[in-house]
């Protein structure tokens, strides 16, 4: 084990790596019950099946990272990616969850492709840094908004007026609808508020595992408040293993791949979904690797340069990106949203983790959670909602890098962030940023500064909007 993971070469020990793995696991263990909660909002997608898929996909991706790349990063379904899966691909774009799983698989294959070919260099260079930062910040605001709703903090006031019921059951109100803060006179909103206060204080005090500890504390308080029902809890429950068959390989079923390719009208919409998901997952991973790798010395600046200038998989950085792509591709097969590298891995790195042994420990701990599906199913949305809000806060830090005094950056960046939240649509925010960036550069006579890949993507977004307008 010492030789395989090169512990001595990386100036670490088995004990240090185990402690680092435990630290990383407890900072990201919330995903085990948050991910099923978000994905099960799709009708027909079983909570227990998603629970098992989340564990297996996380363990698989983390094991690949451990054994192939030998770096201390752990993987799991991304918080932004699962929200995008449910609220955009399924609820807003109208794809079934089986079709969405196939889209996740295709996206993962593209990530592998751009990692091993010259395409990765083109894509990394195509999108300006300020747009990458605004996308990250916009998704943060989007996730936080979902957290506010799930925490029961919001109510929606509507003037009297007419309304239309769409074919998918959604209601379009033709009058003024304004979100408003609740009066906090019910136990659900109070529990959400208590959870947010606890988690905020833990995060501010930099307590390791703060998000996980905050969720557990909120659950315990929820029991005393009568929000959490323990009557049907079984300590050891392997029901999730049997339910796994309902989501695993559903991407290749008739309701998934078969349905997706039977409708030519979905092609542009499918491309849009893939591109939007690809951007989010790809740059989340690159940002995590660069940010954590620089501080710890796991990756050096020379390896970062290789990402943009060399072909093949020649360094730990390249191997880590390739492992991330493999995990993303297989996540759809397992039956969950895109798996990606977690920024919470920095907690384990801070505890001394330097090799894949840290990741291997995390993977083992994920698998040990399988018998406790029934216990995790009692977690109320008010307990996990504060985690969404805190993750949103952390993601918003990226907007500090944007030069807001330069309107060429400020306008596309602001539209990206605001439209994601106001239109409750991540892909529309990305589209707004890309399109306005191209328009501004064209008007300023700087169109040559726009990369062809970005311009082509903006054109696809425009075509998609035209199709939606024609359909009415």
Q: Is residue 103 part of a domain?
A: yes
Print burial letters for 317-342: b (CB count within 10 Å at least 16), e (below 16).
bbbbbbbbbbbbbbbbbbbbbbbbbb
Q: By the 8 A CB rule, do 337 and 39 touch?
A: yes
Q: Total domain count for the chain?
A: 1
Cα–Cα distance between 49 and 40 in angstroms, integer? 9
Q: Which has more pLDDT, 126 or 295?
A: 126
**pLDDT digits 0-9 by tens, 134-172:** 887 887 888 788 889 889 898 887 776 666 665 545 566
Question: Is residue 1 a part of any domain in this protein?
Answer: no
**Does 9 fall in a domain?**
no
Our separate counts of H helices and E strands in the chain read 21, 6
Q: What number is the average pLDDT over the span 72-82?
A: 89
Q: Where are the beta strands (DSSP E) in 286-406?
A: 339-341
Q: What is the pLDDT of residues 212-222, one digit of tens each?
A: 788 889 989 99
Average pLDDT of the chain is: 83
The tokens of 177 are what? 């609808």
Contact 23, 208 (CB under 8 A): yes
Dist. CA 347–CA 353, nearest whole Å: 9
Q: Is 312 left (phi over 0), alpha (psi -120 to 50) or beta?
A: left
Query: Per DSSP, what are the bridge partners of residue 158?
Result: 177
Rounded to 5°, angle at Cα 54 from 53 and 58? 115
What pLDDT score was predicted for residue 18?
A: 92
Q: What average pLDDT score do residues 331-349 get?
A: 88
> Residue 330: what pLDDT?
93
Let me know: does 61 contact 323? Beta carbons within 8 Å.
yes
For residue 2, is it within any domain? no
Cβ-proximal residues to 108 (8 Å cutoff; 6+ apart), any chain: 325, 326, 327, 328, 329, 330, 331, 332, 338
Question: Does residue 4 lie within any of the structural domains?
Answer: no
Specify if 26 maps to a domain.
yes
Residues 6+ apart with CB under 8 A from 9: none
Residue-level pLDDT at 221: 95
**Is residue 7 situated within a structural domain?**
no
Q: What are the tens digits of pLDDT across the range 411-464?
A: 999 999 999 888 877 778 888 999 999 999 999 999 999 989 889 878 877 887
* pLDDT at residue 405 tops 50: yes
- State the pLDDT at residue 193: 95
Say whether pLDDT at 238 is over 80.
Answer: no
What integer is the mean pLDDT of 218-244?
A: 83
User: pLDDT > 70: what percent of the chain?
Assistant: 87
Provide the pLDDT for residue 168: 47
The range of the structural domain enclosing residue 205 comes to 14-471
- C-alpha 5/C-alpha 14 separation (Å) is 10
Q: What is the pLDDT of residue 283?
A: 67
Flag whether 300 is in a domain. yes
Under 8 Å between Cβ of 82 and 97: no
SS3 label, residue 380? coil
Task: Tell me what pLDDT residue 123 has.
Answer: 67
Per-range mean pLDDT, top range of 187-196, 253-262, 342-351: 187-196
pLDDT of 285 > 80? The answer is no
Distance between CA atoms of residues 213 and 202, nearest Å: 8
Arithmetic mean of pLDDT, 302-329: 74
- Cα angle vertex 329, ends 324, 331, to 5°? 90
Q: Which of 16-20, 41-45, 317-321, 407-411 has the lowest mean pLDDT?
A: 317-321
H or E element at residue 178: strand 177-181
| pLDDT bracket for residue 300 (50, 70, 90) | low
Q: What is the mean pLDDT of residues 347-374?
A: 87
What pLDDT, on a 0 to 100 scale, did the predictor assign at position 112?
Answer: 86
Q: Categorize the per-residue pLDDT at 72 as very low, low, confident or very high, splitting at 50, 70 and 90.
A: very high
> In whole angstroms, what separates CA 459 from the centre of its chain?
25
Give the separation between CA 398 and CA 417, rounded to whole angstroms.
11
Residue bearing tokens 């792509």: 325
């Amino acid at each position: 084990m010492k030789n395989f993971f090169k512990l001595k070469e990386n100036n670490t020990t088995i004990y240090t790596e185990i402690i680092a793995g435990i630290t990383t696991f407890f900072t990201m263990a919330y995903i085990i019950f948050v991910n099923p909660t978000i994905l099960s909002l799709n009708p027909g997608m079983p909570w227990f099946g998603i629970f098992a898929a989340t564990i297996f996909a996380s363990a698989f991706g983390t094991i690949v990272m451990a054994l192939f790349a030998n770096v201390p990063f752990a993987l799991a379904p991304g918080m932004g990616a699962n929200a995008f899966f449910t609220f955009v691909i399924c609820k807003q774009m109208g794809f079934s969850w089986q079709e969405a799983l196939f889209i996740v698989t295709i996206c993962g294959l593209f990530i592998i492709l751009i990692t091993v070919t010259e395409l990765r260099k083109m894509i990394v260079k195509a999108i300006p840094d300020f747009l990458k930062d605004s996308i990250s910040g916009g998704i943060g605001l989007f996730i936080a908004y979902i957290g506010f709703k799930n925490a029961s903090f919001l109510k929606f006031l509507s003037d009297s007026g007419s309304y239309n019921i769409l074919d998918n059951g959604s209601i379009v109100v033709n009058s003024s609808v304004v979100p408003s803060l609740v009066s906090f006179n019910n136990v659900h909103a109070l529990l959400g508020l208590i959870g947010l206060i606890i988690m905020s204080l833990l995060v501010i005090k930099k307590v390791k595992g703060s998000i996980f500890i905050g969720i557990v504390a909120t659950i315990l308080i929820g029991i005393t408040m009568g929000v959490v029902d323990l009557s049907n809890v079984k300590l050891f429950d392997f029901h999730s293993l049997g339910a796994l068959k309902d989501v695993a390989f559903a991407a290749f079923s008739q309701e998934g791949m078969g349905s997706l390719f039977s409708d030519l009208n979905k092609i542009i919409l499918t491309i849009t979904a893939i591109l939007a998901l690809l951007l989010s997952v790809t740059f989340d991973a690159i940002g995590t690797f660069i940010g954590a790798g620089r501080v710890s010395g796991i990756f050096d600046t020379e390896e970062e340069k290789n990402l943009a200038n060399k072909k093949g998989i020649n360094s730990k950085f390249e191997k880590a990106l390739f492992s991330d792509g493999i995990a993303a591709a297989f996540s759809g097969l397992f039956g969950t949203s895109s798996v990606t590298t977690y920024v919470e891995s920095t907690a384990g790195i801070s505890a001394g983790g330097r090799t894949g042994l840290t990741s291997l420990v995390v993977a083992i701990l994920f698998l040990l959670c399988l018998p406790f599906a029934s216990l995790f199913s009692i977690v109320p949305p008010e307990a996990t909602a504060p985690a969404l809000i805190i993750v949103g806060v952390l993601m918003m830090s990226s907007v500090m890098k944007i030069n807001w005094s330069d309107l060429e950056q400020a306008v596309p960046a602001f539209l990206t962030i605001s439209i994601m939240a106001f239109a409750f649509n991540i892909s529309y925010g990305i589209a707004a940023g890309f399109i306005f960036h191209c328009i501004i550069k064209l008007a300023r006579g700087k169109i040559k500064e726009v990369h062809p890949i970005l311009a082509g993507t903006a054109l696809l977004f425009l075509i998609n909007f035209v199709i939606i307008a024609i359909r009415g």
